[in-house]
Amino acid sequence: MVAAVLVALAAAVPAAASPRVVGGERASIVEYPWVVYLTDSTGFQFCGGTVVAATKVLTAAHCLANQRADNLRVVVGREDKRTTDGRVVNAQSVWVSPNYRGDPTGGSDFAVITLSRRVNVPALPLASDNTLYQPNAMATVLGWGMTKESGEASEYLMQAAVPLDSDTACTAAYQQYRASAMVCAGYQQGGVDTCQGDSGGPLEINGVLVGITSFGDGCARPGKYGVYTRVASYVTAIEGELDR
């Protein structure tokens, strides 16, 4: 039930109400050149993503559930949405994890966009084993989503630092949590989190992509973490798509 509501919210973020990183600060696209945002053909930003190869962007499956490749645009190198900095690249094709069940709480919330041309930014490497998934490890989350739960999307790229938490704590917060598919991050007291519009974007530790923003109950609520796709669990499947 709760999951269905969360999905409905994520899918139906209207132009006037899309959230970004909560409790964060402005981030520089120069420092994080591989973070991108996704828009529809009208230019409306609805998700984030990460450049993982010259023509490949990794995002969340739930971001692309209702999106055709020909309407999808990837904005690279633009920190401030109101500018024309960087470039807008068309999607040539979209590959959604075949195990994604239509709901981020079911796991496998990842997808790969093939760009119509190469982009000139460094790719972020993928986590390839579980060593980076230590409780209390500090991670950086990034996005143009809402800056408070009932806010509007950010004009600017935002960043926040959040600690990973243990599978026990994540399970206590979300009964749907699965350690093989997800990692959670945030503070028990809330206050710092990703939010609507940040989905698909990176959770990064020391220059490695560890998570993909996936779901949460509201944003930055006490006792509720942000839940991220566990990249290391899916690295073989993802890398299989990068060579195509």
**Residues of the shown chain interacting with ligand ARG in the complex, contacts defined by CB under 6 A:** 10, 145, 193-199, 213, 215-216, 219, 226
Q: Which is nearer to ligand ARG, 87 or 178 (CB)?
A: 178
The two three-digit tokens of residue 225, written as one number:
């973490």
Q: Which is nearer to ligand ARG, 219 or 238 (CB)?
A: 219
Cβ(55)–Cβ(114) below 8 Å: yes
Active site residue 103: no
Exposure on the CB side of residue 99, measured as CA atoms within 13 A: 12
CB 47 to ligand ARG: min, Å? 6
Give the residue from 115, 147, 136, 132 showing the smallest Cα distance to 50.
115
CB 210 to ligand ARG: min, Å? 15
> Which H or E element spans position 93?
strand 87-96
- Choosing from 62, 108, 193, 214, the catalytic residue is 62
The two three-digit tokens of residue 86, written as one number:
């960087």
Q: Rounded to the nearest 5 degrees, what angle is found at the Cα of 55, between the Cα atoms of 61 and 205?
A: 65
Residue 134: CB atoms within 10 A of its CB come to 11
What long-range pairs does 166-172 form, CB within 8 A, spacing at least 24? 166/135, 169/135, 169/225, 170/225, 170/227
The two three-digit tokens of residue 154, written as one number:
């950010």
Q: Which is nearer to ligand ARG, 33 or 145 (CB)?
A: 145
- DSSP-derived 3-state class of residue 59: strand
Which residue's beta carbon is nearest to the bound ligand ARG?
216
CB 243 to ligand ARG: min, Å? 28
Active site residue 150: no
- Choosing from 108, 154, 199, 233, the catalytic residue is 199
Q: Which is nearer to ligand ARG, 79 or 198 (CB)?
A: 198
CB 120 to ligand ARG: min, Å? 27
Q: Rounded to the nearest 5 degrees, what angle is found at the Cα of 112, between the Cα atoms of 73 and 171?
A: 115
CB 221 to ligand ARG: min, Å? 8
Active site residue 180: no
**CA gap 161, 164 in Å, rounded:** 10
Q: Which is nearer to ligand ARG, 53 or 211 (CB)?
A: 211
Q: Tell me the catalytic residues.
A: 62, 109, 199
